[in-house]
Structure 1
Amino acid sequence: MSDVCRRADTSFATWAAIYLGVAAATLPSVLPVMVGVLTDKLGFGAVRAGYVASANMIGVALGSVICTVAARRWSGQSLIRAGAATMIGANLLTTLVAGFPQVAALRLISGLGEGIVGAICYAAMGRSRRPARALAFYIAGQGLVGALGMGIIPTVVARAGWPWLFVLVSVVALPAFWLARPIETLRTEPTEEVGTNVPVATWLSWYALAGIFVFALGMSAVWAFVERIGHSEAIDLAHLSGSLSAAAIANMAGSLLVGFAAHRLGAATGVATGYSLVSAGLVALSSSGGWPLFLAAIALIFFAWGFYIPFQFTLLARVDAVGHRTLLIPLVTGGGLTLGPAIGGLLIAAGGTSAVCVFGFACVTASTASAMHLRFQQKRFCHE
């Protein structure tokens, strides 16, 4: 096969992984809609609806672990098809039941499928020619699906009934059965700058995962309470809602900037730039400056979040020679996003906005320091 044809095939496979990764994360992207359906349409109430949502997210985390073990024996396309069948089957079965135990169990099972498919797609994006660019478009796609889904699905549910939420999510995932094969080809593509001393470099991939976890931990601790912080600043509802919407758009803008242009930056430069922006945003957020400063702060933080992650992902992809650790990203990020808000709540109660911002800054600083050290170690192994 010619180099041109190989590049074209790789490009299609990368876009297939991006699409399918977004499709697998559709339900988590519109999680507030699902919680609303469970609360209003099925009468679960807020507490039990929250339990169901947690079951779905636990399933995603467990799915990535299962995928890591299964990937040593089965091909990526087999796992994608099995995961998609599990996810779609559980979604369709959910439309046929209405009891809390049954719905919770099916959401856990669906989450397993979502986690398996998502893990393979993360690994495939990591094996692409430009991992930062691939993940940037994946993050932007998640944001777009979330925005469109939360705007459209409630109307569909109101007119056609709550089962259509799960039907629509299933339809989006159907191409998985056809896209599995091209995505599998990325598993055989050599990544850029992978060290030849794989046994020695194995610890670096765990190190990279730890940095991703710490970053998610600190950012989610702040993210979960920006609305409360706005209330503490006595910002009115209209300005607060507008600020939160602007932050969501800024997050997409940050990832799109990487996808279209900034992926050409070195990983260390991208991480350092993102760190500077996050730090400036956290300093601004901890200051009491009213609505304009609050808006600028959270927009900057969310922009930097979308900008930073693709470069951090690139560092992991470069040291994870066979892609096994990349499969654990849903588990690692899910763990950080689960623990972060709990820690943030304790800090807000104990020390207010400043305490949670200091924690966020400490986590981002630690994550950035580990990324810079990782880049140094990765270069050293590449030249051995």
Structure 2
Amino acid sequence: MINTQSQHNSHPNWLVGSPTKVQVAAALWMGSIGLLILGLQPILLGAMFTEARLNLDELALVATAELITIGIGSVVFGLALSTRHLKLKSAVMMLLIAGLNQSMFYAHTPHKILGIRAVTGLIEGGAVAVAMELIARSRHAEFVGGLFVTLQTVAQSLLALLFALWVIPHFGSNGGFSALAIVGIASLALAALVPSYYGDLPKQAGSAGGVLSLKAIISLLVIVLLIMGLGAIWAFLEPIGAQNGIDGKTVGVMLSASLAVQVVAALVATSVAQRLNYRAALAGCGLIVIGSAAVLSQKPSLAVCWVAVILLGSIWTFIVPFFVALTLDADPKRDTVLLVPAATLTGAAMGPLAASVFIVDGNVGPVLPFSSSVALGSMVLLMVFILIARRRPVTLRT
């Protein structure tokens, strides 16, 4: 049932409801809590590997499982559950995330670690849905999406620095998960500031939108393939650097520098998202992935490698608001925008997994043409989407 407020809302910034800036910030923080693990996984899983809690194969499985379940959780919570009683739901999710992170103290086998992280991912996905549901109701969804990316990136960067310099060296992996539990408990205060109810999105008369429409499916495939190409290079950056004569320490410095660049990229994307056409932004990012893969395959100089890594790192956060714009264009009903995190996480998980099939005897060279191929596939689908999109106007964009 669509409520009267949804049908007649005239707020300049919201299709339905009128959340305050504090409420918006609280909702976006809930989603940021759900995605904190993305920036901390390398540190936490690396610590568990060092402590012999996981071997390399188990580490990869745990990382992939949590990424996938975050995506699943965001879809289930976003499409199957209502946006009523959000204060209570947010508080429960923060408590569950805190409890599951603290329970890592008692995960003494790889199977228990895998189980806990998979369940945690489902709840984290629910927290992401709290933010995405709000973004879907904004008349300026690209801008609010950019704010979301900026907030989560800053939080990940600050916590990654704290974990690397103090938490992990002094308290190990369990200390890191305890720190995440503390963050979850502290976030209960902000959960109380989330709107109790977002309101139902207005229906579009005569709209053929929806997540099962051809345009929506193509838009999601564009996202998955582009992130697959990016993720494949990113996951194997250290061995790729080694084949180009760059030692692991230098690659580590490059990756650390890219975190700072990602914060800047998120800020830039937020400021230009409403002025820069998403088609141009996505095409540009796709060309960067393809070009960087080509450059890295030619044994470039250290300076050129630096440029390629910084450009690739910036895509992670710069591109998200334009994914939002793409899915809004694909689906006027705004259901598809809720699937952006799931599509992004699926691509991030599938990229390294699919690329690993082509690695033989430790030679990571084939990863680069694989990355170029899937990124090119994303660009082809983007062109198909543009051709299809010209057939009818989008009715909900303002």
Deviation (angstroms), 1:237: 4.1
Task: Give the RMSD, CA atoms, in angstroms.
Answer: 3.6
Q: Do the aligned partners of 2:324 and 2:340 also contact (CA within 8 Å) in 1?
A: no
Match of 1:28 in 2: 38
Deviation (angstroms), 1:238: 4.8
Which of residues 152, 175, 191 in structure 2 aligns to 1:179? Answer: 191
Match of 1:140 in 2: 150
Write the deviation string for residues 49-78 of structure 1: whole angstroms up to 9, x where unpaired.
444444433432332343245315965555
Describe the shift of the 1:353–1:243 C-alpha distance in structure 2 as closer, same or farther (beyond 3 A). Answer: same
Match of 1:376 in 2: 390
Q: Spell out the pairing of 1:112-261 with structure 2 (5 A cutoff).
A: 112-154=122-164, 155-160=166-171, 162-174=173-185, 175-176=187-188, 178-179=190-191, 182-183=194-195, 185-188=197-200, 196-200=205-209, 202=211, 203=213, 204-261=215-272
Following the alignment from structure 1 to structure 2, what is the Cα–Cα distance between the partners of residues 180 and 327? 23
Following the alignment from structure 1 to structure 2, what is the Cα–Cα distance between the partners of residues 229 and 279? 15
Following the alignment from structure 2 to structure 1, what is the Cα–Cα distance between the partners of residues 241 and 181? 37
Is 1:358 matched up with 2:367?
Answer: no
Count of residues in correspondence between the two structures = 380
Deviation (angstroms), 1:92: 2.8
Describe the shift of the 1:382–1:135 C-alpha distance in structure 2 as closer, same or farther (beyond 3 A). Answer: closer
Following the alignment from structure 1 to structure 2, what is the Cα–Cα distance between the partners of residues 300 and 312? 18
Q: List gaps (5 residues or longer) in structure 1.
A: none
Following the alignment from structure 2 to structure 1, what is the Cα–Cα distance between the partners of residues 260 and 168? 25
Secondary structure of the 2:108 match is: coil
Deviation (angstroms), 1:362: 1.3
Describe the shift of the 1:198–1:31 C-alpha distance in structure 2 as closer, same or farther (beyond 3 A). Answer: same
Deviation (angstroms), 1:114: 0.5
Write the deviation string for residues 299-322 of structure 1: whole angstroms up to 9, x where unpaired.
223324432331121221354455
Match of 2:305 in 1: 294
Following the alignment from structure 1 to structure 2, what is the Cα–Cα distance between the partners of residues 24 and 135? 15
Following the alignment from structure 2 to structure 1, what is the Cα–Cα distance between the partners of residues 134 and 81? 12
Deviation (angstroms), 1:334: 2.4
Is 1:106 matched up with 2:92?
Answer: no
More helix by share: 1
Write the deviation string for residues 229-285 of structure 1: whole angstroms up to 9, x where unpaired.
222211244543333333343333322211134443233343344345444434433
Deviates more, 1:271-280 or 1:299-308: 271-280
Following the alignment from structure 1 to structure 2, what is the Cα–Cα distance between the partners of residues 333 and 275? 14
Describe the shift of the 1:220–1:173 C-alpha distance in structure 2 as closer, same or farther (beyond 3 A). Answer: same
Q: Do the aligned partners of 1:133 and 1:310 also contact (CA within 8 Å) in 2?
A: yes
In structure 2, give the amino acid aligned to 1:147.
S
Describe the shift of the 1:292–1:374 C-alpha distance in structure 2 as closer, same or farther (beyond 3 A). Answer: farther
Following the alignment from structure 1 to structure 2, what is the Cα–Cα distance between the partners of residues 234 and 315? 39
Deviation (angstroms), 1:31: 0.8
Secondary structure of the 1:342 match is: helix
Write the deviation string for residues 98-130 of structure 1: whole angstroms up to 9, x where unpaired.
344444322222221111111232232232232
In structure 1, give the amino acid aligned to 2:76.
I
Following the alignment from structure 1 to structure 2, what is the Cα–Cα distance between the partners of residues 37 and 91? 15
Describe the shift of the 1:327–1:78 C-alpha distance in structure 2 as closer, same or farther (beyond 3 A). Answer: farther
How does the TM-score come out when normalised to structure 2? 0.79
Following the alignment from structure 1 to structure 2, what is the Cα–Cα distance between the partners of residues 40 and 277? 34
Q: Do the aligned partners of 1:65 and 1:328 also contact (CA within 8 Å) in 2?
A: yes
Describe the shift of the 1:62–1:267 C-alpha distance in structure 2 as closer, same or farther (beyond 3 A). Answer: closer
Identity fraction in percent: 19
Describe the shift of the 1:185–1:5 C-alpha distance in structure 2 as closer, same or farther (beyond 3 A). Answer: farther
